[in-house]
Amino acid sequence: MRKITALFILASLSAIPAFAQEMPADLKSKLEAKAAEMEPSSKSAAKTWLVKQMNAWESIQNLAFAADADDIAMIKKLAEKKFPLDYVSQETFINEQAVAAAGLPDLKSQIGKQTYDAIKAKFDNDGKTDLAEFINIINAQITAKTQLETLKPLPSIDASTFAITKEVLAKKFPSDYISQ
């Protein structure tokens, strides 16, 4: 029984490198330079920092979540912006943000994929990095969309004029229900 257990453990350990993804050489050299910069007086501390960063990078490559792959890709991009060359912090950030991302598919279905993608693109272009803020923006848009759908013209406004006005505003502010 001990031999079988030992063989199983040995086989498991030898299989681990097969799943490991190799860090690109240019990235490794950037991390080595940053390690030397951060710990100029201690090669040992620099090496420790480098190993932690490399392990975290590998962990990030193998993360899997229940959220949509596009949303996880967005979170990873946000992590890179927020913590450049700091994969330990990125890993923590990604794990935390992925919990919030679990609700994004529901929000996407409420607002519509096209509007969701437009809001996500604007959020990214604005350089924002907090998924909670993104979720707040989506929720505000969903609330505005719901209010627009139930909005009725005042008695003094012709129904066709009201409908045309809504159409014009929808064309002027596509994917932005708050502005409409």
Cα angle, residue 48 at apex, residues 46 and 50 outer, rounded to 5°: 70
Q: Could you say which DSSP state residue 26 is in?
A: H
Model confidence pLDDT, tens digit, residues 93-151? 998 888 878 888 889 999 999 999 999 889 888 888 788 889 999 999 999 999 999 99
Going by C-alpha positions, the residue among 125, 116, 122, 78 that lies closest to residue 97 is: 78
Going by C-alpha positions, the residue among 106, 28, 93 that lies closest to residue 63 is: 93
Q: How many Cβ atoms are within 10 Å of 108's Cβ, its own excluded?
A: 19
1 versus 57: the higher-pLDDT residue is: 57
Model confidence pLDDT, tens digit, residues 14-49? 344 444 578 899 999 999 999 889 888 988 999 999
Whether this prediction's pTM lies above 0.75 is answered by: no
Q: Could you say which DSSP state residue 129 is in?
A: -
User: Could you tell me the two tokens for 37?
Assistant: 């910069």
Q: Is the pLDDT of residue 10 over 50?
A: no
User: Could you tell me the two tokens for 61?
Assistant: 């490559």
